[in-house]
Amino acid sequence: MKLAIDERWNLIDKIAKQVVKYGTYRSTLKDAIEEITVKPLTGIPIAIAVLYGFWAFFGAFAGFFTDGFFVKFFDNHWLPWLQGVFPGKGGWLYYILVGDPTASNCFEAFGALTSGLFVAIGVVLPAIIAFYLFLTILEDSGYLPRLAVLIDTVLHKIGLHGFAIVPMILSLGCNVPAVAATRALETKKQRFMMAVLLAIFIPCGAQLGIMLEIIPQYVGFVMIYLFAGFFIFGFILNKLIPGKSPEILLDVPPYQMPIGRNVRGKLWIRVKGFFTVAIPFVLLGVIIVNIMYLTGFLGWLANVLEPVLCGWFGVPKETVGPLIAAFLRKDLAVAQLSTINMTIYQLVTSVILVSLYFPCVATFAMLIREGKEEGWRGVLQYLFGSLATLTAVVFLWGGLIHLVWIILGVV
């Protein structure tokens, strides 16, 4: 026998009346804090303070390991040692694995075992740990959903509801799980929009870490530029794509003290994911780019693309190497950019280009997988939809920054 919906609720009422008793309930400090953290007037300043804490923590933690220890280890010990003992100096294998024999630091050498390991372990790993540690604490304490409520109004403008903030924040760690998390959104339109916007505009934790290392004073600017792009293109996509973006009532969980065991467990899952996915890809990326360089393909491609790169974006043609590396890993690409001789404005432009122009392979594969959830038509829609958005974004948003520099008169 099945009950009608009304009957079911009536039955629940009856049961609840018999078994539940509500005691006198006075609001506690916890309730009061729950209230003021979601009210915009008080909530926004608190959110600013929390985000400030996030950045300060991230910077201090990553700086401690990277600048304090890893740079010293890799530049003063690992690199000279490897340059000394690796056989066949000047040979192609040496070039691929150790890189430039005259290099004095691991950014410049660009071998798989030098720059590759340095970027993956020395720079990105501490950043990833710092990021996930803070994120996990924010998650488990219950603050994150409140941030979602606060940002809800803004997201509504681009047809997404507040919970889209969860994939967004996850995305700052790694785009791959973030794309998977879009599944919790209600309509196909929302899922597609969010997945594509995330993959294009939000830099992942690995990229953030390396950006902090290379252009610390411009990271804020790059982030704001990317987020602005996120909202502007979100607004456009919302108008262009047919379909509905219904409201959703979201349920805010209570504040809780994060439990140590839980935080450790989650941190471990995420860092392990980094080790198994990121490190092989970084090494592979270095090897592929080096092979392309040795065979002369990279030089040829640089000349072919020169009009676009120099003319439209105003960056040197050598950036084609990092752009290839960015297919595999964005962090690697940014590290590689730092070794190219160019002005700081060109560097900022090329960092933005690297972020925008193609999601890394892992993210792109995830996008297609999400498309598959909707059948073969979904695959095609995700594939061509994301590529079309991508092309538009790269040329418009990437070109715009060049225009900004021209107007400011710095190029």
Partner 1 sequence: MNKETKFIIGRVYFTVFGLIVLGIGIIEILLGLTGRSFEYGIIEISGEFLLWRGVILFSAGAFYLSGVKNFSDIRQYAKIVMASVMVWIIAGMQIFGMILESIPGGEEGGWFNTLEGFLATYSPPYIPSLFLLPFSLVVFYYIKLIEEPRGEDKNKRGNSSVNRG
Partner 2 sequence: MGDPNVGKSVVFNRLTGAKVMESNYPGTTVDYTRGYMRLDGKDVEIIDVPGTFSLEPKDKAEEVAVKMLRENRDSIIICVIDSTKLERGLYLALEIIEEGYPIIIALNMWDIAKDKSIQIDVKKLEKVLGVPVVPTIAVSGEGIKELVSRIKEASPPDIKRVVERAGGVK
126/379 Cα distance (integer angstroms): 36
Neighbours of 60 (CB within 10 A): 10
Q: What is the token pair recorded at 59?
A: 């910077």
E strand intervals along 79-178: none
Q: Which of partner 1, partner 2, none binds 36 (CB below 5-8 Å, type-dependent)?
A: partner 1
DSSP string, 310-354: IIII---GGGHHHHHHHHH-HHHHHHHHTTS---HHHHHHHHHHH
Binding partner at 210 among partner 2, partner 1, none, C-beta below 5 to 8 Å by kind: none
End-to-end Cα distance, the chain:
76
Contact 150, 43 (CB under 8 A): yes
CA distance readout (Å), 352 to 127, 204, 219, 358? 19, 13, 10, 11
CB of 167 to partner 2, least distance (A): 9
Q: Could you tell which of partner 2, partner 1, none binds residue 12, using a CB distance below 5 to 8 A set by kind?
A: partner 2
List Cβ neighbours of 57 (8 Å cut-off, separation of 6 or more): 130, 134
9 binds, among partner 2, partner 1, none (CB under 5 to 8 A by kind): partner 2
Nearest to 173 by CA among 121, 218, 128: 128
Tokens read off for 76 = 């003063």
| Residue 186 DSSP label | S
Closest CB to partner 1 among 224 and 294? 224
Residues forming contacts to partner 2 in the complex (CB under 8 A) are 1-3, 7-16, 18-25, 139-142, 144-145, 148, 163, 166, 180-181, 183-186, 191, 250-251, 253-254, 256, 259, 262, 265-266, 268-269, 373
What is the binding site for partner 1 (CB under 8 A)?
24, 26-29, 32-33, 35-37, 42, 45-46, 48-50, 52-53, 55-57, 59-61, 63-64, 67-69, 72
Residue 363 C-beta: closest distance to partner 1, Å: 30
Report, in Å, the least distance between residue 364 CB and partner 2. 19
* Residue 72 touches which member of partner 1, partner 2, none, C-beta under 5-8 Å by kind: partner 1
Closer residue to partner 2 (CB): 7 or 35: 7
Closest distance of CB 54 from partner 1, Å: 9
Q: Which is nearer to partner 1, 68 or 265 (CB)?
A: 68
Q: How far is the CB of 372 from partner 2 (least distance, A)?
A: 12
Question: Considering the complex, what minimum distance in angstroms separates the CB of residue 43 from partner 1?
Answer: 10
Q: Are 134 and 219 in contact (CB under 8 A)?
A: no
Q: Are 165 and 92 in contact (CB under 8 A)?
A: no
- Residue 268 touches which of partner 1, partner 2, none (Cβ within 5-8 Å per kind): partner 2
Choose among partner 2, partner 1, none what residue 33 binds, the Cβ cut-off being 5 to 8 Å by kind: partner 1
Q: Based on CB atoms, which residue is closest to partner 1, 224 or 403?
A: 224
Q: Could you tell me the smallest distance in angstroms from the CB atom of residue 11 to partner 2?
A: 5
Q: What number of CA atoms fall less than 13 Å from residue 25's CA on the CB side? A: 5
